[in-house]
């Protein structure tokens, strides 16, 4: 699978070997990691990816992606789908190492994966964030998501995707 490109990022669908390096927090000779990568969220995302891959095989294109800044070639975070699509919907999660935050990279990566979901005929993408994580709420909103509900500690978001008939 070809990497997804945005104006400032490359999103690379990881394989099991890279997932294992991320979980172990041990870069291989081919890895270029920014300061703070992988952080706890990357380890959680890569662990879930490895479990899903072991249980169901190749997850692409609905797997986990390493987010790399094209300016310096350094990995700054991860983004991925939390499982395969179900009834036209898929859940997404993301996170950046502290050294990559505050520059709009997460919203840029979110838009790329939302577009990927749309290209595969899905009707919506959902996400959640802690109620006290204002930065993540703003990131989701910049990427086109709207809050649709809440639980005791989470805000629930979704973005409706264009359907084949061209309506939202």
CATH code (residue 113):
3.40.630.30
| Residue 89 phi, psi (nearest 5) | -130, 150
What secondary structure letter does DSSP report for 92?
Answer: E
Domain count, the chain: 1
- SS3 state at 74: coil
| Listed residue (83, 33, 40) closest to 62, CA to CA | 83
Whether residue 89 contacts residue 124, with contact meaning beta carbons closer than 8 Å, is answered with yes
The confidence band for 37, taking pLDDT boundaries of 50, 70 and 90, is very high
Domain annotation covers residue 165: no
Domain annotation covers residue 168: no
| β-bridge pairing 154-160 and 146-150 | antiparallel
Average pLDDT, the chain: 94
Residues 111-127, mean pLDDT to the nearest whole number: 97
Percent of the chain at pLDDT exceeding 70: 96
Give the tokens for residue 139: 């990131």
Domain span holding position 123 = 4-160
Domain annotation covers residue 144: yes
Residues 23-48, mean pLDDT to the nearest whole number: 96
pTM above 0.95, yes or no: no
**What is the pLDDT at residue 165?**
43
Token pair 């890895």: residue:
31
Whether residue 81 contacts residue 63, with contact meaning beta carbons closer than 8 Å, is answered with yes
Domain annotation covers residue 166: no
Domain annotation covers residue 140: yes
The confidence band for 164, taking pLDDT boundaries of 50, 70 and 90, is low
């Amino acid at each position: 699978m070809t990497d997804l490109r945005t104006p400032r990022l490359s999103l690379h669908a990881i394989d099991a070997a890279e997932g294992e390096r991320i979980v172990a927090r041990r870069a291989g000779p081919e890895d270029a990691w920014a300061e703070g990568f992988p952080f706890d969220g990357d380890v959680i995302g890569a662990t879930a990816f490895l479990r899903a891959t072991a249980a169901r095989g190749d997850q692409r294109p609905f797997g986990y992606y390493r987010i790399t800044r094209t300016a310096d070639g350094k990995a700054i975070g991860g983004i991925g789908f939390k499982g395969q699509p179900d009834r036209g919907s898929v859940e997404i999660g993301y996170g950046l190492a502290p050294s990559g935050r505050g520059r709009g990279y997460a919203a840029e990566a979110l838009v790329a994966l939302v577009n990927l979901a749309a290209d595969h005929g899905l009707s919506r993408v959902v996400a959640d964030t802690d109620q006290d994580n204002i930065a993540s709420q703003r990131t989701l909103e910049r990427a086109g998501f709207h809050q649709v509900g809440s639980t005791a500690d989470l805000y629930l978001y979704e973005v409706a995707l264009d359907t084949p008939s061209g309506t939202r």
